[in-house]
Amino acid sequence: MSPSIPWGVWFEPTQPVERLVELALEAEKLGAEVCLVADEGTERDVYVALTAILLSSAELVVGPAITNPFSRHPVTTAAAIATLDELAPGRVWHGLGVGGSRVLEPLQLEPRRPFTALKEAFTLNRRLLDGKKAGPAMLPWFEGDVPIAVAGRGPRVGEFAAAHSDWVILSAKALADLPESAAEIRIRGSARVAWSAYLAYDELERRRALRHFAYMAIDAPAEIREQVGLDELRTARIRKAMLSGRLEVAAEHLPEELLDMYAVTGSPTECALTIAELRRCFDLFLLPMNDEATCEQHMAASAKILNLAARLEGDGGVSGDSGV
């Protein structure tokens, strides 16, 4: 059997649900094992999209990546996740985080204790999905087993996720920091690592990918913004452009070195070599899918890069337990 790297796609629900289903099925044909959909509040509803994908695909594991404790009540979220798993037992993940500007600002939500709220939501959801009572709430009709993934960029979220979750989703993580972060996760608990990174394998994809770092620029901890030279004025301009849907304008204020720090860049072969060299650091590779016009081409090119990375790893790289 030829070597492989487990991978999945991560969609922003900016396209009609029928289109998301088409893309998810195409990803499955190319070898994707997981399909995650973001919960962005004002975009297509995450649970409608996940239901459609789940019922249309043969084996894809689906889940929200991520939902939060503020725009949806945690009890309602647990019931939604349980309902999905009831439709297709064993093919559902739960994904939690504190939420970002894109989902919280349109709802005029300004959480004061996001980390505490995340911990409480995680604990409540874990109890309900384990068939236990959480306060007055219980899901007596559910008997499934749903892994919970946690995503977040702050150190407290990272430590909590490593110690308590089944999966830690690492996104907007500097490539140079990935080995240390993965090692810390594995020391703290039994969580597996899902690494999400943009693949910028030509000049066109470099331009496309840079736009999406606007989200990282406004939601990242201050020390990360400072590291890449984003002062308050620059960040404010990026925020204004991003929240008005003008990603091209937001990208004008982003330093291009962000790409080479946080994305997998270079020729397709160079990208494959980078992934192969980092293979020991992750159990699942997540491909962000944000550009509507080029989804099929980008998935196909990325699948080839991941297949090449697996062969390069098999020819002399290092491997790890990568079961999904």
Strand 167-171 to 192-196 pairing: parallel
DSSP designation for 229: T
Instruction: Write out pLDDT tens, residues 81-119.
Output: 999 999 999 999 999 999 877 788 878 888 889 999 999
Query: pLDDT band for position 123 (50/70/90)?
Result: very high
* Spatial distance between the Cα atoms of 52 and 48, rounded to a whole number of angstroms: 6
**Residue 299, in any domain of the structure:** yes
Provide CB contacts within 8 A for 257, sequence distance 6+. Answer: 228
Q: What is the pLDDT of residue 232?
A: 78
Share above pLDDT 70 across residues of the chain, in percent, rounded to a whole number: 92
What's the domain count of the chain? 2
322 falls in which pLDDT band (50, 70, 90)?
Answer: very low
Residues 104 and 229 in one domain: no
Residue 154 has what pLDDT? Answer: 83
Per-residue pLDDT, 240: 79
Q: pLDDT value at position 323?
A: 35
Q: Are both 240 and 278 inside the same structural domain?
A: no
Q: At what angle do helices 17-30 and 295-314 cross, to 10 degrees?
A: 30
Task: Report the C-alpha gap between 253 and 257 in whole angstroms.
Answer: 12
Query: What is the model's pTM?
Result: 0.89
Answer with the residue of higher pLDDT: 6 or 227. Answer: 6
Domain co-membership, 92 together with 106? yes
- On whether both 16 and 113 belong to a single domain, the answer is yes
Tens-digit pLDDT profile for residues 275-304: 999 999 999 999 999 877 789 999 999 999
Indicate whether 224 and 104 sit together in one domain.
Answer: no
Q: 38 in a domain, yes or no?
A: yes
**Does the residue 127 lie in any domain?**
yes
Residues 224 and 285 in one domain: no
* Same domain? 229 vs 126: no
The pLDDT value given to residue 215: 67
**pLDDT value of residue 103:** 82
Using alpha carbons only, what angle is made at residue 35 by residues 57 and 320, rounded to the nearest 5 degrees? Answer: 115
Q: Which domain holds residue 82?
A: 7-201+266-314
